[in-house]
Amino acid sequence: MSNEFRDLLRQVGSGSHTSRPLTRAEAEAATRMMLTQTATPAQIGAFMIAHRIKRPTAAELAGILDAYAALGPTLPALAGGGESPALVLSCPYDGRSRTAPVTPITALVLAAAGIPVLLHGGDRMPTKEGIPLVELWEQLGVDLRAHTLAQAHTLLSRTGIGFVYLTQHFPAAHGLVPYRDQIGKRPPLATAELMWSPYAGPHTLVMGFVHPPTEELAKGTFSLRGQTDWITVKGLEGSCDLARSRTAIVGVNHQGRFERLLLHPRDYGFDGDDGELGDEACLGNRLLEVLAGRSSDLHLAALWNAGFYLWQGGAAATLEAGLAQAKDLLATGKALAKLEDLRQQAAELSPALTYSHS
């Protein structure tokens, strides 16, 4: 048992009258002890649920991210900085269970336009156990599970798309996943993951969220950690996907200047119902139909999102220009060609693997 961890646990779990927030350094120490399993299972589970009940502070989340930066993976900057600063898309690790994601198409369109994209996530994860990004890519014929961190960086360099896979690249963090299932709630670690950027080069971090307090926490956390370029999106199920059924509430911070964007899909001809998840096994085919240019509600969702991120990624001067560019990249097959390139490069990096798709 760790007496040091027990003292930190006592601080966050002593109740509303006697508990106090951890300092940034204390939160980093606690996270390190959980990641290295220096703390006992009983201590880790107790800390996670107590910290959730207390609610994390910006300083505590900054400390968690400090530990992630020290013990976790970081992809080096692309040689020459890449064509454009990267976009790091941070979505909840427990996936989607109600609405159909278009995040892979967004990544393909951005990469086709010369904007590097980094994604990160794991396998099925409590509490939602929704479909994760790694499974969506598998359905598109891209298996990202077996790549080493060096291979993930090579893939990013060659194709403009990278993926940090928790299970393979950060086993210490993956080792804490069972605790999420056992406590039955998302711990503050899940919030910190949305603010985690495992990339060393110039980039803008995009964070999906559901509840407004999460965005306020992010502002404070980013400020403490010196993250000057970031975007917050009140997205579908907390993801980076903008909805079509409601106004997109977006926060954009660039070099210390914050701007609130309220984007109404109907003003651009993109309003409508958000696509239901449906049969998970068919998601890959539905995304391939979008890449093939077939009209559907999911096609409109993909255009709405890709156009927005082309604009925010610097490939287009306005949202209208971004939407037009997204339409062109899909209609001309350039996004689909990027997927073929990604399949080929991923297979070359892991020649022992075989790939198939419907």
For residues 173 and 302, membership in a common domain is answered with: yes
Shared-domain flag, residues 237 and 258: yes
With a pLDDT cut of 90, the percent of the chain lying above it is 92
Residues 89 and 50 in one domain: no
Residue 354, domain member (yes or no): no
Q: Do 304 and 195 share a domain, yes or no? A: yes
pTM of the model: 0.95
Range of the domain at 287: 83-340
What pLDDT, in 10s, does the model give residues 186-229?
A: 999 999 999 999 999 999 999 999 999 999 999 999 999 999 99
User: Which CATH number goes with the domain that contains 58?
Assistant: 1.20.970.10
Average pLDDT in the chain: 95
pLDDT (tens digit per residue) in 14-37: 887 788 999 999 999 999 999 999
Looking at the structure, tell me whether residues 87 and 67 fall in a common domain.
Answer: no
Please tell me the distance from the alpha carbon of residue 123 to that of residue 171, in angstroms, as a whole number: 12
Does residue 2 surpass a pLDDT of 90?
Answer: no
Q: Mean of the pLDDT values across residues 38-45?
A: 96
In the predicted model, is pLDDT for residue 352 greater than 70? no
| Alpha-carbon separation of residue 273 from 126, 161, 266, 301, 324 (angstroms) | 27, 29, 12, 9, 21
- 49 and 114 fall within a common domain: no
Q: Is residue 32 part of a domain?
A: yes
Q: Are 101 and 125 within one domain?
A: yes
End-to-end CA distance of the chain: 51
135 in the same domain as 45: no
The secondary structure of 149-165 as a DSSP string is HHHHHHHHHHHSEEEEE
Give residues with Cβ within 8 angstroms of 324, minimum separation 6: 307, 316
Task: Give the helix/strand (H/E) hosting 28.
Answer: helix 24-35
- Residue 113, domain CATH: 3.40.1030.10
- pLDDT band with cut points at 50, 70 and 90 for residue 155: very high
Total number of domains constituting the chain: 2
Average pLDDT over residues 131-158: 97
Same domain, 97 and 60: no
> Is 357 a domain residue?
no
Whole-angstrom CA distances from 102 to 63, 74, 144, 239, 243 are: 32, 25, 18, 10, 11
